């Protein structure tokens, strides 16, 4: 597996990481724990060194799973987790909370669940409009000084927020959605990250599964799958958005690859400091995604994709309003 370095930091990770959320949360019932432990360890054997979790996934159960699975290979891997949500005494997720004292309190829980002495990469999961980002960055800076955290990250943050945070504590990576059907980061975010020397970690690089070509307007999701409330996943939107799948499939056929591999190879080709984290619960998909790092898209291929994609407008909002409002910038 090829390696990439996140921005100007010394944090080197596999070119393709593994998003772990769907193993416990968001995409239907939790997967079998023992199967997921086996999958995570198999991913390491195949060269994946970058694993993404968060306190809110479960909540907490995903951190516990990742911690247990990766304990035997701790020195070989980079584990990223996220803070920023409130949790009630019943364990239910509330609103945003990035107050410095609360960050430090919840990080202690993450350290315990992950079974680590230091978190490799700690993201603020969503920008908290009630807490100045300088205070958030200052709290993480203290955690880094205390040896409990190694690198600071932000998720779904806007460029001014990133600049203000970076001035207090250098930001190693920003995680936001980015794929062929969600290209908002190209306008302001990517140029800012390049200027500041910050790595970029696209989540949902396969469009929440849509760009694999395995989903059409007739697909039904489990009742607990959050795609049921995503406007971009209404049957009408899925039908209209098949144009993206057809574009990828055409290139894939020529390249003897899959649509998912072309979607990931396209992301890797954008910048050398981009590291996508596709999620899956199937080992065959891990293998497929890893192999995307070996798919070479020529300048002509990239121009062809760009030209075709520019003719397609994605239908449907990427989040329902109540979730989009949580992506404060």
What is the rounded (10 degree) CA torsion for 67, 33, 173, 94? -100
Active-site residue, 102 included: no
As given in the structure block, the two tokens for residue 321 are 């309003």
Helical packing angle, 61-70 and 100-114, nearest 10°: 40
Neighbours of 94 (CB within 10 A): 9
* Whether the Cβ atoms of residue 6 and residue 123 lie closer than 8 Å to each other: no
Residue of 27, 57, 102, 178 with catalytic role: 57
Tell me the C-alpha to C-alpha distance, in Å, between residue 174 and each of 145, 161, 170: 21, 11, 11
- Smallest CA-to-CA distance from 272 within 254, 293, 299 is with 293
Is the distance from CB of 38 to CB of 68 less than 8 angstroms? Answer: no
d(CA 311, CA 297) in angstroms, rounded, equals 20
Which residues belong to the active site?
57
């Amino acid at each position: 597996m090829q390696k990439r370095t996140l921005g100007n930091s010394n944090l080197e990770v596999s070119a393709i990481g593994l998003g772990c959320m769907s193993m416990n949360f968001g995409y239907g019932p939790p997967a079998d724990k023992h199967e997921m432990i086996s999958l995570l360890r198999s991913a390491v054997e195949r060269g994946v060194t970058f694993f993404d979790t968060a306190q809110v996934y479960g909540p907490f159960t995903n951190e516990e799973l990742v911690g247990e699975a990766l304990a035997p290979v701790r020195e070989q891997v980079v584990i990223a987790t996220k803070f920023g949500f409130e949790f009630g005494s019943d364990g239910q997720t509330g609103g945003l909370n990035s107050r410095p004292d609360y960050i430090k309190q919840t990080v202690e829980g993450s350290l315990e669940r992950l079974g680590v002495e230091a978190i490799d990469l700690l993201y603020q999961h969503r920008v908290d409009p009630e807490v100045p980002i300088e205070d958030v960055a200052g709290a993480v800076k203290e955690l880094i000084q205390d040896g409990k955290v190694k690198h600071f990250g932000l998720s779904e943050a806007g460029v001014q927020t990133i600049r203000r945070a970076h001035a207090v504590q250098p930001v190693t990576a920003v995680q936001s959605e980015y794929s062929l059907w969600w290209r908002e980061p190209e306008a302001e975010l990517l140029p800012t990250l390049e200027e500041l020397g910050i790595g970029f970690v696209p989540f949902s690089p396969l469009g929440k599964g849509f760009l694999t070509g395995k989903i059409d307007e007739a697909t039904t999701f489990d009742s607990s799958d959050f795609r049921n409330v995503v406007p971009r996943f209404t049957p009408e939107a899925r039908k209209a958005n098949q144009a993206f799948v057809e574009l990828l499939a055409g290139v894939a056929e020529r390249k003897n690859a899959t649509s998912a591999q072309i979607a990931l190879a396209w992301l890797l080709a954008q910048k050398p400091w981009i590291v996508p984290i596709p999620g899956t619960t199937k080992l065959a998909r891990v293998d497929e995604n890893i192999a995307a790092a070996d798919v070479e898209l020529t300048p002509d291929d990239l121009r062809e994709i760009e030209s075709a994609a520019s003719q397609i407008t994605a239908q449907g909002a990427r989040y329902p309003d109540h979730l989009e409002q949580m992506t404060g910038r």
